[in-house]
Amino acid sequence: MASFVSAVRSRNRADLNAEALEGHLSAACCHMANVSHRLGKQSPPEAIREAARASRELSDAFDRCREHLRANGVELGTEQAVLGPWVTLDPDQQRFVGDFADQANALSERKYREPFVVPNPT
């Protein structure tokens, strides 16, 4: 963030650590995970593992996450985690699409107070 502010002030793209699009995409991944989490429900770890088996990448990510939690004193055998649905973002529309689109888009929007309104491009 500091390099972005510095680049805006200096008007020099060389002050950026990464292009703004990189920051946007990184933040979008985190927002997608948070939306999935908020739409999910607490589940025992074995239910999550079973759900993740459909995807090698998801299964691997779950195993790595479980190891990371264990190394930091969180044992999923006693703590339940949240299993959220797979959410898909259309990068052109910047909106969720698919099975959980309505609920996911509702979590991604807010009501603004005048005069602090962000226009809707659609």
CB 108 within 8 Å of CB 96: yes
- Is the pTM here over 0.75, yes or no? no
pLDDT in tens, the chain (122 residues): 888 899 999 999 899 998 888 888 889 989 999 999 999 999 988 888 898 888 888 889 889 988 999 999 988 877 778 989 989 999 898 899 999 999 999 998 888 888 998 887 66
pLDDT of residue 122: 63
- The first and second tokens of residue 14, run together, are 């060389």
Taking the mean position of all CA atoms in its chain, how far away is CA 48? 18
Backbone angles phi, psi at 90, to 5 degrees: -85, 115
CA angle 11–13–18, rounded 5-degree value: 135
Amino acid code (one letter) for 89? L
pLDDT of residue 106: 94
pLDDT of residue 87: 93
pLDDT of residue 107: 94
- Residue where the block lists tokens 């969180």: 74
Helix (H) or strand (E) holding 37: helix 20-39
pLDDT of residue 57: 85
